[in-house]
């Protein structure tokens, strides 16, 4: 049976780290424009100070990457199909991963997939250009480290199967969640075939803008049809934080 569940009190039901991750619901009302927009996030709560005084903030413009040294640890992805669980968070459309199911490994540390969500247009820029939409896959390790895998989308003639499976089931009401065990998606189908990526140290792109997040940004975009971002943008259009200063951070290119 299909089930629409209300997220009572939003973040209170979630564990602390989920509250920290992008797009989890917050008590503090923030938006992408107007008086609660990105330039005012730090004024909304003391907890959001990094949104203003942070020095390693996200998103960035990716340009001038250096070749990664040969001994830099490589990413290993272990994803398998997950039961569908879609939340309309009030800031984006988010897929909540079944705990402990999907993980990635980097440098001996295992990170569990917590959720993934979408921004339209895409948040990271590439030599100043934005994509039509992106996905951020948020991961958490046992020792409280966060890692985001980011995928950019590009318009073509092939719909993406994960997005398509989600589109018909997005709850219209903010704060609502749609969960059903019978329908599965594999987050692997959101990722490009070419596993080359850029990596850098960054932050969450949403309040509290916490830093120390490892970012892995796939170089190859994934094809979607125009209808897919159009449908997603009926829920959220412009949930994109402005580009933040690099402040001397290195961007590494891994092939
Ligand atoms: Zn995000």
Q: Is 122 among the domain residues?
A: yes
* Structural domains of the chain, count: 1
* 95 within a domain of the structure (yes/no): yes
The answer to whether residue 66 sits within a structural domain is yes
Over its C-alpha atoms, the chain yields an Rg (Å, rounded) of 17
Strand partners, 5: 177
Note if 91 is an active site residue: yes
Å from CA of 21 to ligand 1 middle: 9
Task: State in Å: Cα 144 to ligand 1 middle.
Answer: 18
Angstrom distance (rounded) from CA 80 to CA 17: 23
Query: Does residue 189 belong to any structural domain of this protein?
Result: yes
How far, in Å, from the CA of 121 to the mean position of ligand 1? Answer: 11
Residue 19 lies in a domain: yes
Catalytic residue among 36, 91, 172, 237: 91
Whether residue 255 is contained in a domain is answered as no
Q: Is residue 247 assigned to a domain?
A: no
Say which CATH number the domain at 132 has: 3.10.200.10
> Does the residue 49 lie in any domain?
yes
* Residue range(s) defining the domain that contains residue 110: 3-241
Q: Quick: pLDDT tens for 228-252.
A: 999 999 999 999 999 999 999 999 9
Q: What contacts 212, CB < 8 A, 6 or more positions away?
A: 56, 145, 146, 201, 203
pLDDT, one tens digit per residue, over 13-53 is 333 344 334 444 445 799 999 999 999 999 999 999 999 99
Query: From the CA of 58, how far away is ligand 1's center (Å)?
Result: 9
């Amino acid at each position: 049976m299909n089930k629409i569940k209300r997220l009572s009190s939003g973040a209170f039901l979630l564990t602390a780290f989920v509250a920290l991750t992008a797009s989890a619901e917050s008590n503090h009302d923030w938006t992408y424009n107007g008086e609660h927009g990105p330039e005012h996030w730090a004024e909304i709560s003391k907890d959001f100070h990094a949104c203003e005084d942070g020095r390693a903030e996200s998103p960035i413009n990716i340009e001038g990457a250096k070749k990664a040294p040969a001994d830099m640890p490589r990413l290993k992805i272990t994803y398998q199909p997950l039961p569908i669980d879609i939340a309309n968070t009030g800031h984006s459309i988010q897929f909540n991963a079944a705990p402990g199911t999907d993980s990635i490994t980097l440098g001996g540390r295992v990170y569990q997939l917590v959720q993934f969500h979408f921004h339209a247009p895409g948040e990271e820029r590439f030599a100043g250009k934005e994509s039509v939409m992106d996905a951020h896959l948020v991961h958490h390790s046992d020792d409280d480290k966060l890692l985001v895998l980011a995928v950019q989308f590009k318009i073509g003639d092939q719909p993406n199967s994960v997005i398509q499976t989600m589109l018909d089931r997005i709850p219209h009401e903010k704060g609502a969640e749609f969960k059903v065990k019978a329908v599965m998606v594999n987050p692997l189908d959101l990722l490009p075939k070419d596993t080359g990526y850029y990596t850098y140290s960054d932050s969450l792109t949403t309040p509290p803008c916490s830093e120390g997040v490892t970012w892995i940004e796939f170089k190859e975009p994934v094809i979607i049809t125009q209808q897919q971002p159009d449908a997603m943008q009926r829920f959220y259009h412009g949930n994109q934080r402005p580009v933040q200063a690099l402040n001397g951070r290195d961007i590494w290119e891994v092939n």
